[in-house]
């Protein structure tokens, strides 16, 4: 079901503004957690406290450049959050469907606060990792609202001609969160010996807003209707919209809920043949997103920049630069996605990312041996190439990895399908976070060719398997997109029967 927003009268109410701010804070918080760990990992005080062996390795000039940071626990510090998020998102969806959105956000903010406090105050590795796990539980519960509801909601309410732009606002806040984390790390790295505590503890700030927000907001009309409270649903909708005439919109919400309620087994239905195309595409986009190597950069850029020879400060500053490039390039995407379309952006980015990753690989292969460091100009060239890579990702695979799965599933399986995409993101983010530093140690410069090879595959995937969805109303996807696609049309013979059997 696609809503044309002009059908619904509404005023900009305080309530809506609060919802938007909450969504924004959710994005900021997710981004902050992505961006903060890499800088902290590179801080001397932090390494001495929790990873003295890594610090020792770093000091020894003879130690292999590529292997200085190869430590499973150091990687676990970053990755544990995503594993916890993956598991808790299943529990969160149960809590959300039983108790509603508001308690779910409340629980998420409590986990976030606890996680930030624990990791900032940690005096041993166990507490440090526990803190990260609590943050992950927060992301898992926040997922229900932030990663799942917000992108879906944004896609559903946006007019079809600007659906892409509206949806990408979410990714914009994620990139701003990453950028703030880069800045914070740069600022705290010289506050000895506890700068890292401040970096980790500041994750609690957006959580406080989320906590207050969860007390202020009321339940959403959809959630009230889902729980059979129609009167309360109408009241909430009037409050949200700030007008009395909400009948048309309420009817739409009710129809959507009725259909959703009749779907007995959304996850089983997802396996119907006709649901496979959006499912395969949603999962592939998320897996590919991670195999571009983006989070090797987002998590480990400061470490990577130290590997090529920058001192601590310069490496953190370089991360600030890549963070800024990430934010501005996402703005390009907001502008371009409904004009150029999804496929063009994805393909252009594949070319740019392929060239950047391969060039970084060549520079390191030729110039960075086990114990030397790159010349200043070579090291800066690596930073420029990383920026070109991040730029391309940020206007394509980054936002579109979320946008496309939010617009391609039919209503009956949209929530379940999107949940698969989110879980794939968490799983593969975990894998990259846990493996990158070890892969770099074993594969050396070839790790960048590994990413380049994936990017090549992604290009082929886009050319042959990814249909254009620009300007197509969500409820017309089956007829206008899937049934017309040379490969996916073969899966659509039973689409109408599947859709009836879903209900
Ligand atoms: C990805 C994250 C990534 C971020 C970078 C998101 O779309 O899902 O894994 O860190 O983009 O901006």
Chosen domain end from 228, 262, 296: 262
Q: What's the pLDDT score for residue 1? A: 40
Mean pLDDT along residues 153-166:
70
Whether the pLDDT of residue 60 is over 60: the answer is: yes
Q: 277 with 205, same domain?
A: yes
Cis peptide before 333 (omega within 30 of 0): no
Query: Phi/psi at 240 (nearest 5 deg)?
Result: -65, -45
Please work out whether the CB of residue 78 comes within 6 Å of at least one atom of ligand 1: no
| Atom 6 of ligand 1, residue of closest alpha carbon | 398
* Residue 245, φ and ψ in degrees, nearest 5: -90, 90
Rounded Cα distance, 237 and 219, in Å: 10
Is pLDDT larger for residue 233 or for residue 160? Answer: 233
CATH number at residue 181: 1.20.1250.20
Residues 387, 242, single domain; the answer is no
Domain end among 233, 262, 291: 262
Is 238 domain-assigned? yes
Shared domain check, 276 and 389: yes
Dist CA 4 CA 156 (whole Å): 9
* Segments forming the whole domain that contains residue 278: 9-55+74-217+263-501
Residue 5 has a pLDDT of 45
pLDDT value at residue 11: 65
Confidence band of 12 (pLDDT split at 50, 70, 90): low
425 lines ligand 1 (CB under 6 A): yes
| Residue in 28, 31, 34 to alter for ligand 1 test, most ligand atoms within 8 A of Cβ | 34
Residue 183: how many CB atoms within 10 A of its CB?
A: 17
pLDDT at 398: 96
Cα radius of gyration rounded to whole Å, the chain: 23
Query: What is the residue with the minimal CA distance to atom 3 of ligand 1?
Result: 295
Domain identity same for 236 and 278:
no
Total domains in the fold of the chain: 2
Can you give the pLDDT at residue 250?
Answer: 85
Considering the domain boundaries, does residue 3 fall inside one?
no
Helix pair angle (397-408, 411-443), 10° resolution: 150
**Pocket lining: 361 vs ligand 1, CB cutoff 6 Å:** no
The predicted pLDDT at position 4 comes to 42
Q: Is residue 404 part of a domain?
A: yes
Long-range contacts of the stretch 310-315 (C-beta < 8 A, 24+): 310/379, 312/42, 312/43, 312/44, 312/189, 313/186, 313/189, 313/190, 315/42
Count Cβ atoms within 10 A of the Cβ of residue 123 and give its class: 0-12 exposed, 13-18 middle, 19 or more buried.
Answer: exposed
Q: Is 289 in the pocket of ligand 1 (CB under 6 A)?
A: yes
pTM higher than 0.75: yes
In a domain, 296, yes or no: yes
Ligand 1 centroid–CA 337 distance in Å is 17
Whether residue 419 sits in one domain with residue 365 = yes
Q: How far apart are alpha carbons 439 and 446 in whole angstroms?
A: 9
- pLDDT (average), residues 145-164: 67
Measured in Å, residue 30 CA sits from the centre of ligand 1 at 9
Residues 158 and 49 in one domain: yes
Kindly give, in sequence order, each residue whose CB lies less than 8 Å from that of residue 364, ignoring residues fewer than 6 positions away.
308, 374, 382, 444, 445, 448
Say how many Å lie between the CA of residue 225 and the centre of ligand 1. 33
Q: Is residue 64 part of a domain?
A: no
- Asked whether residue 16 falls in the same domain as residue 148, the answer is yes
The two structure tokens encoding residue 146: 């932030």
Confirm or reject: Cβ of 429 under 6 Å from ligand 1: yes
Of these ranges, 213-227, 289-303, 470-484, the one predicted with the greatest mean pLDDT is 289-303
Both 192 and 92 in one domain: the answer is yes
Residues 307 and 341 both lie in one domain: yes
| CA-286 nearest atom, ligand 1 | 8
């Amino acid at each position: 079901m696609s809503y044309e927003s002009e059908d619904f009268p509404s005023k900009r109410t305080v309530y809506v503004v609060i919802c938007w701010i909450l969504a924004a804070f959710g994005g900021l918080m997710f981004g902050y957690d992505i961006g903060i760990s890499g800088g902290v990992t590179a801080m001397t005080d932090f390494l001495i406290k929790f990873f003295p062996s890594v610090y020792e390795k770093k000091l020894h000039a003879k130690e292999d450049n590529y292997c200085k940071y190869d430590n499973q626990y150091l990687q676990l510090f970053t990755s544990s959050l995503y594993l916890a998020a993956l598991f808790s998102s299943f529990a969160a969806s149960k809590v959300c469907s039983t108790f509603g959105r508001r308690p779910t956000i409340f629980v998420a903010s409590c986990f976030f606060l606890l996680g930030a406090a624990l990791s900032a105050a940690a005096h041993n590795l166990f507490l440090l990792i526990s803190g990260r796990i609590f943050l992950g539980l927060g992301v898992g519960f926040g997922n229900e609202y932030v990663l799942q509801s917000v992108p879906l909601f944004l896609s559903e309410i946006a007019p079809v001609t600007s659906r892409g732009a509206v949806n990408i606002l979410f990714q914009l806040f994620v990139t701003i969160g990453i950028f703030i984390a880069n800045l914070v790390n740069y600022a705290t790295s010289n506050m000895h010996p506890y700068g890292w505590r401040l970096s980790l503890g500041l994750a609690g700030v957006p959580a406080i807003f989320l906590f207050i927000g969860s007390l202020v907001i009321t339940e959403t009309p959809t959630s009230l209707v889902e729980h059979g409270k129609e009167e309360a649903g109408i009241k909430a909708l009037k409050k949200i919209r700030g007008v009395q005439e909400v009948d048309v919109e309420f009817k739409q919400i009710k129809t959507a809920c009725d259909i959703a309620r009749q779907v007995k087994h959304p996850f089983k239905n997802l396996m119907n043949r006709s649901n496979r195309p959006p499912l395969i595409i949603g999962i592939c986009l998320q897996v590919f997103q991670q195999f571009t190597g983006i989070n090797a950069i987002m998590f480990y850029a400061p470490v990577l920049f130290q590997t090529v020879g920058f001192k601590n400060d310069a490496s953190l500053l370089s991360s600030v630069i890549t963070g800024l490039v990430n934010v501005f390039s996402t703005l390009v995407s907001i502008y371009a996605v409904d004009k150029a379309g999804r496929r063009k952006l994805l393909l252009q980015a594949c070319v740019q990312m392929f060239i950047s990753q391969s060039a970084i690989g060549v520079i390191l292969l030729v110039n960075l041996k086990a114990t030397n460091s790159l010349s200043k100009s070579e090291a800066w060239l690596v930073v420029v190439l990383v920026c070109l890579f991040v730029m391309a990702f940020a206007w394509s695979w980054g936002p579109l990895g979320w946008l496309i799965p939010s617009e391609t599933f039919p209503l009956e399986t949209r929530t379940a399908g999107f949940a698969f995409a989110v879980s794939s993101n968490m799983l593969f983010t975990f894998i990259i976070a846990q493996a990158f530093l070890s892969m770099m140690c074993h594969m050396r410069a070839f790790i960048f060719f590994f990413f380049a090879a994936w990017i090549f595959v992604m290009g082929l995937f886009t050319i042959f398997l990814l249909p254009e969805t620009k300007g197509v109303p969500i409820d017309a996807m089956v007829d206008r997109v899937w049934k017309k696609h040379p490969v996916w049309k073969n899966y659509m013979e039973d689409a109408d029967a599947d859709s009836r059997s879903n209900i």
